[in-house]
Every structure is written in structure tokens, then in C-alpha cells.
A and B are shown apart, each in its own frame.
Chain A
Amino acid sequence: MAQIFKSNMNSLMRVGIILGVVTLGLTGGALFELGADSQYATRQGEAREQPIPFSHTHHVGSMGIDCRYCHTTVENSSYANVPPTKTCMNCHSQIWSDSPTLEPVRASYRTNESIRWTKVHDLPDFVYFNHSIHVKKGVGCETCHGRVDKMPLMYQNASLEMRWCLDCHRAPEKYLRPRSEITTMGYTPKEDQEVLGARLVKEYEVQKLETCYTCHR
């Protein structure tokens, strides 16, 4: 009986195996790359569950309360604080003061126990980020956090990936706005953004910081 496989099949098989491994590797790599960038991995656009269904749409959108009324530290500190229960009670001691939805707020105030809010914008711990310097240089809340006045439940508007940070760090003039408009939602520049941006870069002395140790320190 004749051989089914001729001797040259040996080398053919070797080439086939190598090709197979390479293809598998490439496919795996591509899938990982796609997966790591996916909204599933970055959790972009995913509303998080909170102990109280706090609505920014209501407080910012329809009441017009400025971001800084609650997030008081944003201009002076690296972080924009989640407000203490007392800030809620400034108004809710009188308004909606018997609403069952707000019972956790009142309970927190009575017992002095913190409300455990879920952090939505959670950067990796090896990234240093400072809110105050961004606000001082003319980066609006909306530029990173999106239309918060249209978020019934808070979600992460941007991917928060490094390339997203770098987009702005490489060309800040595309995104800057006057300091007086920092907390404005739905801001549109009154003049050409290129002209305005270039002027603000000069006026606020904005640097293009792209070194690793700007953020990884």
C-alpha cells in the first residue's frame, strides 16, 4: 500500500503549525486590544448604582445649582469632593424633608455615618490627577465629565484612557474655555475656538505637558 503522506508533508506541517500559532497570537492580541478599549472594560457610559438615586439632571439641569456648591474643593485641591451629608441637608432639612427616598440622607445626618457613594470616575492608583490646576487653566467640568446636567444617574462620560488624556495635553487649545465659563453646561465658544484657545493658552500660561512623570509620579 502506498504511503498516504509523502515525505514533503513533514515540512508542510511545520509551516502550517507555525502559521497557525502566529494567526492565533495575532487574533488573540487583536481581541485583547479591542476588549481593553471597549466600553465594557472602561465602563464608559455605564450608570452606577448609588445608595440614593441622586439626579444631576434635577439639581444642575432644572435647579441650576453650580457644581461648586457641592464640590467645594475643586478649585483648591487635587480632588473634587463628594459633599458631606450636611450639604444635602442645607436644603433637604426643609425641602422634601419627609420623602422616603431621602431617608438614607437623614439617617446619615442623625447617626453621623457616612453615606457610601460609589466612585464613578476611578483612575488607576498609579495616575496622579489634580482638579485645581485643570480648572485654573481653563478646562471646563463639561470637557471631561460631559453634560452632567443631563445625567439622571452619574456615569463616566469619557473613556479616561491615557490616549484620551494625551489628546488634550498635546493640543490644549482645542478644549480650553474662559475661567468664567468653567462650570457652564452646554458651553459654546463665542468666537472661533482656534483663536480663543490660542489666546487662552497664552493668557493662562498653559503648558503642553507630555512627559511620563507629569501623571506617573
Chain B
Amino acid sequence: MRNRIQVIALASLSVLALTGCRQDMHDQPKYKPQRPSDFFSDGRSGRTPVENTVARGTVYEDAAYYTGKENGKEIEYFPITVDKALIERGHVKFDVYCSVCHGKIGNGLGMIVRRGFKMPPSYHTEKLRTAPVGHFYDVITNGYGSMWNYSAQIQVRDRWAIAAYIRALQLSQNANINDLDPADRTKLASLDKHPPMPKGVAQPLVPDNPANKVEMKAAPAGEAKKTAK
């Protein structure tokens, strides 16, 4: 009899020890973001709103702000206040999402283009310098040519910030040298003679610059000519 009690006591002790290894609290039956679901047929726990319903705060009435267009025409003005903070925000977002193809200065020589993606036009062409600002917003939102839309990756306000930064880039590559002090002007001309600066840095940075063409190994040869006009 006494033996049996000891065996049972030992057995229950070891069961207790085993329960210590259960992971119920680690893996609770609840949904965290992007956790798969057995319940829904597509296996996703994240759901989209039911068709023909509008969630509170998602009525987009300000057409100019949300589409970059008014009466089907791309707007020529910024629907939000443009200040330094917005342009700086645009700089960060541009470098993250756009520079991969458009290049950090918007000449269309981003890394993905060098690896074979169709080269986008430079921002520093007459056509794009004079394009209404709503055009850039619209392209980010809906895509253009080979460029897919970025509406899921970039929020509305940030799209305007990027548009503002593109304007800053355009100004930077099309500034008049006579706007500079004579002292700065001489410095600029000798910029590429200083060791850390790459050769040709004082040249205008546009796609048909031969200094840039050397780097474009993988891009199809015909594209550069077509888009460089």
C-alpha cells in the first residue's frame, strides 16, 4: 500500500514537472498582425473592409489633396503648406522609395536601373521641370509606364513631401551658376580636383553625361537614348 502511494506521488510530481514545459502562454489562440488564420478561407487574419462600406475617417472628399487632380487636370500648386520640414521628410522618403530607380539626384540612374530595370526619365528634362506638381503625386499614386503604384507603401502626405523634394532636386540641378558668389563659383569649378570627390562631380548630372553612362552596364542600350532627350 505504502509503495503505491509513493509511486502515485512520484508520477504526479513528474506530470507537474512536464506541465512546466507547456507553451500555452507563449502561443495564445489570438491574432497578432499578419498571423495566419484557420478560420478564413484565404488563410489571412487581416481582413479588408466589406465591399461598399466606408470606414469612419476614410471619406476622401478633398480631390486635389487625395488625387492630385482637379476636374481631371493635374494641379499646379501644393494642397498643403510646403516648409523645410516637409522637404526634409520628402528627402528621407525619396531616398527610401524612389532613389532605388530614379537615383538619389533624380537622374534615373538608380541601382535597380543599373541591374536591368527600364530607365526612368530624368527629372531634369524640360518636360518634367515644367510638369505640374500634381503629376508627380499622380504617378506615385497610380504608377506610370513600368513603374508600379506606390499607394500602399507611401502615405498621402508623404507623397506630397516627395513631390516637394523633387522640386528641390530639379532646382539643384538647374541652378544658374551666376546666382553664386564669385568666390563660391571658383570653388565649384575645381570641385573634382579635391581627392574625396569623384571625377566629373562638377559636370551636370544628367543621364547623357558620359561619366554616368560607364556605370550603366546592365541597362538596355536603347533606353538611355530614348529617355534622355
Contact = CB atoms under 8 A, between A and B. Distances in A.
Interface in A106-152: 112-114, 116, 124-126
Interface string B84-97: 00000000100111
A86 B148 contact: yes
Contacts of B146: 93-94
Given A78-B33, A81-B34, A68 B115 contact: no
Contact of B148 (A72, A93, A113): A93
Contacts of B27: 124-125
B7 interface: no
Interface in A68-109: 68-69, 72, 77-79, 81-82, 84, 86-87, 89-91, 93-95
Interface stretch (A14-22, A48-56, A58-66, A201-209): A58-66
B125 to A, nearest CB: 22
Given A66-B95, A124-B25, A79 B117 contact: no
Contacts of B47: none
B148 A90 contact: yes
A81 B146 CA distance: 25
Contacts of A69: 96-97, 100, 153
Interface string B29-65: 0101110100000111000000000000000000000
A94 B220 CA distance: 12
Nearest to B111: A63
A64 B111 contact: yes
A113 B43 CA distance: 9
A95 B26 contact: no
A111 to B, nearest CB: 10
Interface in B53-111: 92, 95-97, 100, 111
Contacts of B148: 86, 89-90, 93
Nearest to A125: B28
Interface residues of A, number: 29
Dominant SS among interface residues on chain B: loop
A90 B97 CA distance: 11
Given A66-B95, A91-B112, A93-B148, A126 B25 contact: yes
Contacts of B33: 77-79, 81
A69 B146 CA distance: 18
A91 B42 contact: no
A94 B95 CA distance: 21
Contacts of B152: 72, 84, 86-87
B116 interface: yes
A63 B110 CA distance: 10
Given A69-B100, A125-B28, A126-B28, A82 B34 contact: yes
In the A-B complex, the 7 residue pairs with the closest CB atoms: A125-B28, A124-B26, A66-B96, A79-B33, A68-B96, A72-B153, A90-B148
25 contacts: A63-B111, A64-B111, A65-B100, A66-B96, A69-B96, A69-B153, A72-B152, A77-B33, A82-B34, A89-B148, A93-B148, A94-B116, A94-B117, A94-B118, A95-B117, A112-B42, A113-B43, A114-B43, A114-B44, A116-B36, A124-B25, A125-B25, A125-B30, A126-B26, A180-B92
Interface of B: 25-28, 30, 32-34, 36, 42-44, 92, 95-97, 100, 111-112, 115-118, 146, 148, 152-154
Given A63-B112, A114-B44, 9 more contacts: A63-B115, A68-B97, A69-B96, A69-B97, A69-B153, A114-B42, A114-B43, A116-B36, A126-B28
